[in-house]
Structure 1
Amino acid sequence: MLEPEQDATASMHDLSSLLIPLLKGVIYRDADTALWGALLDLQARVRDYVTVLNLELVLDEAEGYAFLRSRPENGDDSPALPRLVARRPLSFPVSLLLALLRKKLAESDASGGETRLILVREQIVDMVRVFLPTGSNEAKLTDQIDTHINKIIELGFLRKLKPVAGKRDGQATAFEVQRILKAFVDAQWLADFDARLAGYQAQLGAAAGSADD
């Protein structure tokens, strides 16, 4: 049996082993079940600790992910605290692709199919193509979308899988849409999705027109 001092040291080690990966990024249940179990056991202590850092723990047991984000501002006259988790401004095309992936995820959930949403590169290109002006350069379009896909992988919303059998080129690059995307693009945002897409399409058309001038 551990002495009180030893027990406190062991507990602090458990807390540290949770806080370090959380400060680095997202904890997924499927990636490390032991770490996930420890987080569920110690989540109250984690919440108390990160509050001091002006952060809050977002933990979704159903979807199996957890991460830290900055706490909402109070709206009073108190001085704003520095942000430990920086905001990342996204380019317009990346924002559009994230919105399309989120809608695809919602459609997949509504169909009652697989919990994992896996798309091949060709499907992602087709999703974006319909919002671009007719006659867009196909090779340039594909290169640009590859750049946006890589950015979304970097943000943690897509995971690249091993190539799978494709219909056109034999092997197609596949991606899994990470369910944590639901925490960043919420249901209320999706409710206004059609109106937002009209604005997106107009902006993309204007950007393409400027590039051709």
Structure 2
Amino acid sequence: MTEEQQASSPGRGDLSTVAIALLKGVVYRDGNERLWAALLELQTHARDYVAVLGLELVVDEAEGYAFVKSRAAHDAEVDGEQAKLPRLVARRPLSFPVSLLLALLRKKLAEWDAGGGDTRLVLAREDIVELVRVFLPASTNEARLVDQIDTHVNKIVELGFLRRMKTTSGPPTFEVRRILKAFVDAQWLLDFDARLASYRAHHLQDSTVSDQQESRDE
């Protein structure tokens, strides 16, 4: 290898570190500035590396995050003859309440951005409960309702769309991670009202079935 080639080649250790971090999950600028700098420097090499695995690198420098996703099915075939590559990034089916909460958080983030204030949207648990309450079946057991919403919030934290803030006292607070914008896009938001109507119908049906079940039990 010539000196020129060596100078233009990425460090194996740095590229491996970047690739491994991407395969593990989302890389955030504010989570590890050194890793983020390496990712930006080696972006082209990292993109080529994950492409071999049938993955696509998505980097949003303005928002400060990067992740890999599975390429479209037709990109994973060669001349229509090669079998599709195994999926490395698994699709995770989401429950109805989790999907609803993600939609509400995405809408809240859009409203927050329109206000032109701080880029970080931080919500207390009570704020999240109030976001969801109106769309869930009425419950006379407040503690049970909050526990259910806590379960959904924990799932969204696990998915990486919410980050639990460190607090020494007071109620739990969560930062809405901006990567949510990459998974719930503007077109999706345009259909938001129609989706909410579907959500209401879904729960109305569930409530009717539940009432009928209770009547039979009595």
Q: TM-score, normalised by structure 1?
A: 0.89
Equivalent residues of 1:164, 1:173 under 8 A apart:
no
Residue from 68, 81, 84 that aligns with 2:85: 81
- The residue type paired with residue 65 of structure 2 is Y
* Partner secondary structure for residue 57 of structure 2: strand
Q: Distance in 2 between matches of 1:117 and 1:65?
A: 16
Q: Distance in 2 between matches of 1:148 and 1:132?
A: 12
> Which of 191-200 and 133-142 deviates more?
133-142
For 1:182, the equivalent position in structure 2 comes to 181
* Partner secondary structure for residue 159 of structure 1: strand
In structure 2, do the counterparts of structure 1 residues 119 and 19 end up closer, same or farther at CA, with 3 Å as the change threshold? same
* Partner secondary structure for residue 11 of structure 2: helix
* Partner secondary structure for residue 42 of structure 2: helix
Please list, as runs of the form range in 1=range in 2, the aligned pairs for 1:123-202 lying within 5 A after superposition.
123-163=127-167, 171-202=170-201
Identity %: 64
In structure 2, do the counterparts of structure 1 residues 17 and 4 end up closer, same or farther at CA, with 3 Å as the change threshold? farther
In structure 2, do the counterparts of structure 1 residues 145 and 135 end up closer, same or farther at CA, with 3 Å as the change threshold? closer
- The residue type paired with residue 50 of structure 1 is V
* Partner secondary structure for residue 69 of structure 1: strand
In structure 2, do the counterparts of structure 1 residues 111 and 92 end up closer, same or farther at CA, with 3 Å as the change threshold? same
* Partner secondary structure for residue 68 of structure 1: strand
In structure 2, do the counterparts of structure 1 residues 207 and 52 end up closer, same or farther at CA, with 3 Å as the change threshold? same
Runs of 4+ in structure 1 deviating by more than 6 angstroms, as ranges, are 3-10
* Partner secondary structure for residue 162 of structure 1: coil
- The residue type paired with residue 164 of structure 2 is K
For 1:168, the equivalent position in structure 2 comes to none
- Using the TM superposition, give the Cα deviation of residue 139 of structure 1 relative to its aligned residue in structure 2, in angstroms: 2.2
For 2:61, the equivalent position in structure 1 comes to 61
Residue 6 (structure 2) pairs with residue 15 (structure 1): no
In structure 2, do the counterparts of structure 1 residues 158 and 42 end up closer, same or farther at CA, with 3 Å as the change threshold? same
Query: What are structure 1's unaligned runs of at least 5 residues?
Result: 166-170
Q: TM-score, normalised by structure 2?
A: 0.87
Residue 135 (structure 2) pairs with residue 112 (structure 1): no
In structure 2, do the counterparts of structure 1 residues 43 and 50 end up closer, same or farther at CA, with 3 Å as the change threshold? same
* Aligned length, in residue pairs: 207
